[in-house]
Amino acid sequence: MTEGAVYNQDEASLKPPALKAVPKPPDTRFGPLQAVALIMGSIIGVGIFNLPSSLASYGPITLVSMGLTTIGALTFAVLFASLSRRLPADGGPYAYGRVAFGNGIGFLNAWSYWITAWSGNAAIAVGWVLYVERFINKGQNTFGSIALVLVGLWLPAFVNLSGVKNMGSVQVGTTILKFAALLFMSTVGLFYISSANYHPWNVSGQTAIAAIGGGMAIALFSYLGVETASVAAAKVRDPDRNIPRATILGTLATAVVYMLSLVAIFGILPSSTLAATSQPFSEAANAMFGGSWPGDVMAIAVIISGLGALNGWTMICAEMPLAAANDGLFPAPFKQISSKGVPAYGIVASTVLASIAIAINYLGTSGETVFTTLVLMSGITAAVPYGFSAIAQAKWRWVDHKTVQTPRFVRDMVIAVVALVFSILFIFYSRNSGHSFWVYWAPFFLAGGALLLGIPVYMAQRGHMSKPGPVPAYR
């Protein structure tokens, strides 16, 4: 062997061993399809499937309410899409309010939205049970109803605790089924309409404006969820691109089937029939084809739809407190991540609170009244962060416009003002019409009490709050 060969061999022996490539862990965050499914799956719960019965006390005039609420929902979708491009941060409305106005408003938004999430979950679970009781607990025994609601709340909680991947898979599958059920009613159902069922137009005994306003407050619940992709920004791949698209596409697709299906339901069944049933879509299916099997099939679709919505909202229940806890506004346990990569404390705490809300609201009243009360309570607490998000957008865009000429200034300002007006109207009309004093104002009592519980939490966390970051540049 030559000297050069020996040198080269020795030199080679001094080289460090080649490092094996470490496989990159799979990205379990939501892609574009799953982000759209999150939006649609969170919006389409059981609210729309119970809505005709809740609106029946006003009559077909609430089709105008739904139309105006749809305009409001699309306005909020454009608003949150724009804000998420500028600030694609966890917490959505919470983050916008905090960066724009400081930790005080940030906490109010986070706490209020958290109430919306778990009380909305409670409402979805109640509406879900109204269809479950087509097969089980047909006599609607109160304790039986509560037990079924608790199953509806805790089953999705366990799915969420098992990890993001499982949660996303469930969301896509259930969204396809629930959208298909609505699409069926919004197309085939139109051929079974009788124009006579739209009369009388207003059965509430109130003025047209009051009836439309009351219907809007109830209808808002069916659209809660337009902001869910922005709330869960950390769970979405390429949030700057996917969140705005998913928000607008998901809301627009949902709005089309919502309006058409509601037109069909009010045209198939008279208001008196809708007011007397807890399963309006099932009753409409029976009226269309005769017998009871069509209603059973529709009920099964609604039951699966409700589980999908509960699955998505259970995640949102934990994401807002997680974002707030990371900034020091919520107690530290809310930011702990389990071995499955989920904020387990937030999931469990939110589900416990929803369970308590269910038990309290079922005392001395029917499931339909419980559903409407929780719906209105959720609308009140949702309107708070919605309104502050609109004010934040107006503030930032006004500063942008004064600093440098920016495109779409007029459009963004109009959207912000319209969104703020809708937020105020949703709060103003959130009264339980047609009931005694305590039930009439129950949504405000419940929302106010839940908001007041946040005061000691805020005082305890004041010394732990980090300073909000700067306002990102206009994009």
CATH number at residue 371: 1.20.1740.10
Question: What is the count of structural domains for the chain?
Answer: 1
Residue type (1 letter), 386: Y
**Segments in the chain below pLDDT 50:** 1-12, 19, 21-22
Place of tokens 């207003």: 202
Q: What is the pLDDT of residue 289?
A: 92
Strand partners, 30: 236
The answer to the question of residue 155 being in a domain is: yes
Q: Specify the 3-state DSSP secondary structure of 30.
A: strand
Q: What is the pLDDT of residue 385?
A: 92
Complete DSSP assignment for 124-153? HHHHHHHHHTTTS-TT--HHHHHHHHHHHH
- From CA 77, how far away is CA 397, in angstroms rounded? 17
Q: What is the pLDDT of residue 74?
A: 86
- From CA 450, how far away is CA 434, in angstroms rounded? 24
The answer to the question of residue 12 being in a domain is: no
Strand partners, 28: none
Q: What is the pLDDT of residue 248?
A: 78
What are 250's two structure tokens? Answer: 């998901």
What are 341's two structure tokens? Answer: 């990569």
Q: What is the pLDDT of residue 108?
A: 95
The answer to the question of residue 3 being in a domain is: no
The answer to the question of residue 202 being in a domain is: yes
| b/e burial code for range 85-98 (CB count within 10 A of at least 16 → b) | bbbbbbbbbbbbbb
Peptide bond into 200 cis (omega under 30): yes
Find out whether 429 and 217 touch, Cβ atoms under 8 Å: yes
- From CA 279, how far away is CA 132, in angstroms rounded? 10
Determine the Cα angle at 123 with ends 120 and 126, to 5°. 155
Q: What is the pLDDT of residue 4?
A: 47
Residue type (1 letter), 422: F
Closest CA relative to residue 197, chosen from 276, 270, 285: 270
287: Cβ contacts below 8 Å, ≥ 6 apart? 192, 268, 269
The answer to the question of residue 473 being in a domain is: no
The answer to the question of residue 327 being in a domain is: yes
The answer to the question of residue 446 being in a domain is: yes
- From CA 404, how far away is CA 475, in angstroms rounded? 12
- From CA 153, how far away is CA 144, in angstroms rounded? 14
Kindly report the length of the chain: 475
The answer to the question of residue 15 being in a domain is: no
Note the pTM of the prediction, 2 decimals.
0.79
Q: What is the pLDDT of residue 287?
A: 94
Q: 148 is in which domain, residue-wise?
A: 37-464
